[in-house]
Amino acid sequence: MVKSTPSIDFSSYIKTSNGTEDLSSEIGTKLSQSGFLIIENLGINQKYLENLFKASKAFFDMNEEEKNQFAYSSAESNFGYQAINSERLNSGSHPDLKETLTLRNPGQYPVENFPSAEFRQALLLFYLDVLEASRKIFFCIENYLGITKGFFNSLHTGENITIRLLHYPNNSEPLNNQFGAGAHTDYGAITLLFSEGIGGLEIFIDNEWIQLNSNIDEVIINTGDLMEIWTDGHFPSALHRVTTSPGRSRRFSIAVFLDPDSDVVVESLNHSRCDDENSNYETVLVSEFLSRRISDSHK
């Protein structure tokens, strides 16, 4: 089933304070319903995004020997290239039919960790730009929840923020119950997903899988496990997956995972929008939580 999801226009964010308040209400309401929303005019420099997509395609078009020079070493470092069938996001399914390049703050790594200096520069420009845009989203969430402005940004300095380049080939023959990305939830606070309009993303709502489509100039936003804990379930961490379809155009996407710093302790904010006074979620230390979730996907 295909779901038509109207996007939220973020252009009013920088125009009027009333616009910001309206956006906060709209964003909070949509996230509370499904954990997903679509945004346009977030302020991302389209040239930076286009350049990173070009760099991503050039990397994935390299041969395996060349790509494996940047191979993923461990869940602890969470950095590097993983080939098709290397990851299993759904432990009850087959390995995923995708290849990925997981990257961190390019300003903290030498150029040797990247395919080229030009690649590193394209990533850095996009990284800095998307961090600035994410502050707007966090502010709207804080405004909606009625918590201190800057709360989320102060806990997301970049230590665990990850950019993941993804490629779903069109020549794979899936086994029964095999997907480009198996059904899973994201681990952190929020995820920003950029794509080029190629379908495949599905979210699980009301006991059915619904295809979520976006245009090339839109960003898909979803809340993750840690945001669900913080809001005591008010913002759900929705189950989602990417389907495969032999012969369909190759799917490239860029996911930005806004995960809190390692020493952050995440517990229910017990804000006024929660129905219960007592939290239904355990308190977690981010470093331990992320390490466990990432390791589980590689078994």
pLDDT of residue 146: 93
pLDDT of residue 2: 42
Task: Look at 156 and 21; give whichever has higher pLDDT.
Answer: 156
Count CB neighbours of 24 within 10 A. Answer: 19
Q: How far apart are CA 231 and CA 87, in angstroms?
A: 29
Q: Which of 4-18, 55-69, 196-210, 264-278 shows the highest mean pLDDT?
A: 55-69
> Quick one: pLDDT band at residue 18, thresholds 50, 70, 90?
low
Cβ proximity of 132 and 58 under 8 Å: no
Q: What sign results for the dihedral spanned by CA atoms 2, 60, 120, 50?
A: negative
In this structure, of 28-42, 76-90, 114-128, 170-184, the range with the lowest mean pLDDT score is 170-184
In this predicted structure, the answer to whether residue 1 has a pLDDT above a threshold of 70 is no
In this predicted structure, the answer to whether residue 274 has a pLDDT above a threshold of 80 is no
Q: How far apart are CA 120 and CA 129, in angstroms?
A: 14
Q: Kindly report the pTM of this predicted structure.
A: 0.93
- Which residues on neighbouring strands pair with residue 190, listed in sequence order? 223, 258
Alpha helices in 14-74 (DSSP H): 17-34, 46-60, 64-67
Task: Look at 107 and 254; give whichever has higher pLDDT.
Answer: 254
Cβ proximity of 181 and 167 under 8 Å: no
pLDDT of residue 277: 56
Placement of tokens 């779903």 in the chain:
168
> Quick one: pLDDT band at residue 5, thresholds 50, 70, 90?
low
Q: How far apart are CA 200 and CA 83, in angstroms?
A: 19
User: What share of the chain has pLDDT > 90, as a percent?
Assistant: 75
Q: How far apart are CA 204 and CA 211, in angstroms?
A: 9
Task: Look at 132 and 272; give whichever has higher pLDDT.
Answer: 132
Cβ proximity of 165 and 100 under 8 Å: yes
> How does pLDDT run across 68-121, given as a tens digit for each residue?
999 998 888 899 999 999 999 998 889 999 999 999 989 889 999 999 999 999
**Under DSSP, is residue 290 helix (H, G, I), strand (E, B) or coil?**
helix
